[in-house]
Structure 1
Amino acid sequence: MTKTKLKTGDQVKVITGKHRGTIDYISRLDLKEQVVYLKKVSRKKYDKSTPENKKKSELKEIMIPLHISNERKYG
């Protein structure tokens, strides 16, 4: 595994990419894949896991993985 100075709960700032400038806390860190998951950086996705319900599928928010190199420790 790779060594990193970031850990869960640290406040980071996104320095590149679509979410540049976002300041948030790390909710999950995956060192094997070298990605972090931030609480505010998410997208909406329809949940199609329940085909028994003939109703419209529910809209869920899922966190987007961001590469470790795109974050900088803030504060």
Structure 2
Amino acid sequence: DEAERAKYMARYKREEVKIQAWENHQKRKAEMEMKKMEVKAERLKARAQERLTNKLAATRRIAEEKRANAEAKLNEKA
């Protein structure tokens, strides 16, 4: 009876090791996927920031051109 119990315990421990290995593998896969998504999100954020910076620079340039034109018209009439 004790030998039978030891046999079942050994089988249980082997199964537990397999389950633990599977769990660890799944965790690593999930962590890698999360990291991949974080990198992608950072890349998208950087692109969006660059687009907005360019848009602000263009707006500033256009505003300066409009001011220069308005000043030129004023000087022309003066």
Name which structure has the greater RCO, CA cutoff 8 Å, separation 6+: 1
Larger Rg: 2
Larger strand percent: 1
Q: TM-score, normalised by structure 1?
A: 0.18
